Amino acid sequence: MGTSSISIRPSALDIAHGAAAAIPSEVSTRPLLGILGVVLGAGLVTLTGRMLSLGLADLKGHAGISFDDGAWLDSAYNASLMFIGPFTVYLGGLLGPRRVLLSAAAIFALTCVFLPFIHSYTLFLAALVLAGMTSGTFYPLTLTFALRAIPLRYLPFTIALYAAFVDGAVNIAPSLYGWYRDHLSWHWMFWNSAAIAPIMILCVYLGIPPTPPRKKSGPAPSFAGFLYLSLGLGFVFAALQQGQRLDWFRSGVFNAWFWCGMFFLLCALVRRLRGPNPLVALPYLGKWNTVLLGGLLFWFRFTLCTTIILIPQSLAIRGLDADQIGPAIIWSALPLLPIAFTAGYLLLRKIDPRLLMAAGLACTAFAAWLNAQYSSTWAAANFYPTELLTGVGQAFAFIGLVGCIVLQAIFTGGLSRPEWVLTFSAFFHVVRLFGGTAGAIYMGHFLAQREKLHSNLLGLHVSAGDWITTQNIHTMTAGLAGKSAGMVAAGERAVDLIGARLRLQAYSLSIVDGFLLIAWSCACALLMVAMLRKSPLDYGDLKEIQQTLSLPKGSKS
């Protein structure tokens, strides 16, 4: 098929020819291994962070860590991910993605092997920081490799697999951790990552070609500038993650971490204004679609609160454990691989990725609205149909989103300069982390405030002296008298039980409000999708042009 079959403007055709020529027809002699390596890395870092959150209680019990000290373990890992995100631009620009991925994955695997044997709290924090800093390189370098090295015939499927691995890691983690704890031990929350990392190393080693040495031209990259920015983002991220627990600006610890981060960010800005950095191209990010896609990624991470917070907590308030909650969540992971290959095929068939994203957000909103019918009597099985719909919606939305991000990088010239694609990747890495944390923080705050409101409203109908309340207390007291130390103790237990019922109903109503919030947030995200500008060409057009360019001169397709 020749280019004459593609009806586009001349300017778009010029862009398409440049982009298709910049993307290689082959990544290496083993392109599928390279693809598997980078998508494994993206899923691995998500799975590790989720397993750490799920196993935090077992971990604190094993090491004898208090609640307040244990709250910093998750922050140590996630803040390290945030720290290394911008710094990966510096490392990737100097050493190349292959060398950074191989070294980081090896250190990460060794750290995960020894983590369960550490009993010192300080040493454990240091090991988690090391694990976060090494695995944090996987995300930005995955997108960098996908944009600069994967041939177009594999790119849509790489995007789909990337989304499936990342989204699937979130949803499969509760069931996987529950199985490990019941049949093996909690140590496998770390050993699971240590077992997968060598597979990733082998795939990266065989599938990603070495990067040519960087030519020394112009000013040297600023190590200090990257360090200031990474430290600033890391401190601010840790402060925000602990803000709800520390009561925000009323806490000296929160103020210290937050304002230290702001100081380092100011230092990074001053350093940037005093001298340019050849590995950073901030003006390149100032495009309409880039900013909107960053906002959509931030918004999409908030919609994940359905499977990360709302459904687990709606079942946990009834005393269900991780292995009992897992079956409800894993239903959202079941359609991921079929959806991934379907979406990849649709992208090659010239389907606009914005349509995939819009369809996914609509499914997610509808599933959240169905979940809003929740009551305190629901079991895990009640969530199976809606979680299946949620999985389909999140998969299509994320694949469409990543597809739009990749097209945006291609048609804004991101392939022409390494510093542009590295800056682009690091930007979306930072947005992804801040979006997930900000979403979780806000949802936790929202549930707490709504629970207080519903407790007060329900309490208005349960007051001392009311005949219905008095009758319920007398009935429950009579039933508890045989198992209590006298009628007074039975009456106190009856009052406590009524209070527990009120708290359960108030929290159930706050969960319903959370589902409705997710539905409305998807509706707002749909408005942002409508404001995205269409890319000049889609993946199918780019593939056709690349095939035409690869034909010998004078031949016809």
Which of 213, 237, 263 is at the close of a domain? 213
Predicted confidence (pLDDT) per residue in 100-142, tens digit: 888 899 999 999 999 888 888 889 889 999 999 998 888 777 7
Who's near 499: CB < 8 A, 6+ residues apart?
Answer: none
Q: Can you say how many angstroms the Cα of residue 460 is from the centroid of all Cα atoms in its chain?
A: 41
Looking up tokens 């920015």 gives 229
Question: Residue type for 239, please?
Answer: A
Q: Do the domain assignments include residue 263?
A: no
Q: Do the domain assignments include residue 256?
A: no
Same domain, 310 and 437: yes
Same domain, 181 and 321: no
Element (H, E) at 436: helix 418-459
pLDDT for residue 8: 42
Predicted confidence (pLDDT) per residue in 401-430, tens digit: 888 888 888 777 766 676 777 778 778 878
Q: Do the domain assignments include residue 548?
A: no
Predicted confidence (pLDDT) per residue in 243-285, tens digit: 878 888 888 889 999 999 999 989 888 887 777 666 677 778 8
Say whether pTM exceeds 0.75: yes
Same domain, 460 and 535: no
Q: Do the domain assignments include residue 500?
A: yes
CATH code for the domain of 29: 1.20.1250.20
Q: Do the domain assignments include residue 129?
A: yes
The total of structural domains in the chain comes to 3
**In this structure, are residues 552 and 27 in contact, taking their beta carbons and an 8 Å threshold?**
no
Same domain, 489 and 439: no
Which of 180, 213, 246 is at the close of a domain? 213
Parent domain of 497: 455-504
Same domain, 442 and 468: no
**Structure tokens, 323:** 């292995």
Q: Can you say how many angstroms the Cα of residue 156 is from the centroid of all Cα atoms in its chain?
A: 20
Mind listing the pLDDT tens digit of every residue in the chain (557 residues)? 344 344 444 455 555 555 555 555 444 456 677 778 878 888 888 888 888 888 887 888 777 787 788 888 888 898 888 888 777 767 776 777 788 888 899 999 999 999 888 888 889 889 999 999 998 888 777 766 666 666 666 777 777 777 778 777 877 888 888 888 888 888 898 999 999 999 988 988 887 777 665 555 555 566 777 788 888 888 998 888 888 788 888 888 899 999 999 999 898 888 877 776 666 777 788 888 889 999 998 888 888 888 888 888 888 877 776 667 777 788 777 777 788 888 878 887 778 899 999 999 999 999 999 999 888 788 888 888 888 898 888 888 888 888 888 888 877 776 667 677 777 877 887 888 788 778 888 888 898 888 888 888 877 666 655 645 666 665 666 666 656 666 656 666 666 666 677 788 888 889 999 999 999 999 999 999 999 988 877 777 666 666 665 555 444 44
Looking up tokens 């359905």 gives 306
Same domain, 31 and 137: yes
Q: What is the phi-psi region of residue 71: left when phi exceeds 0, alpha when psi lies from -120 to 50, beta otherwise? A: alpha
Q: Do the domain assignments include residue 244?
A: no
pLDDT for residue 259: 94
Q: Do the domain assignments include residue 173?
A: yes
The values of phi and psi at residue 346, to 5°, are: -65, -40
Same domain, 356 and 459: no
pLDDT for residue 482: 59
Q: Do the domain assignments include residue 241?
A: no
The values of phi and psi at residue 415, to 5°, are: -80, -15
Who's near 488: CB < 8 A, 6+ residues apart?
Answer: none
Same domain, 158 and 47: yes
Same domain, 460 and 351: no
> From the CB of residue 52, how many other CB atoms can be counted at a distance below 10 Å?
24
Give the Cα separation of 359 and 396 in Å (integer).
Answer: 7
**What is the SS3 assignment for 498-517?**
HHHHHHHHHHHHHHHHHHHH
Q: What is the DSSP letter of 310?
A: I
Same domain, 322 and 346: yes
Looking up tokens 């993605």 gives 97
Same domain, 369 and 319: yes
Which of 157, 188, 213 is at the close of a domain? 213
Same domain, 201 and 59: yes
pLDDT for residue 471: 61
Give the Cα separation of 408 and 140 in Å (integer).
Answer: 16
DSSP code string of 37-74: HHHHHHHHHHHHHHHHHHTHHHHHHHHT--HHHHHHHH
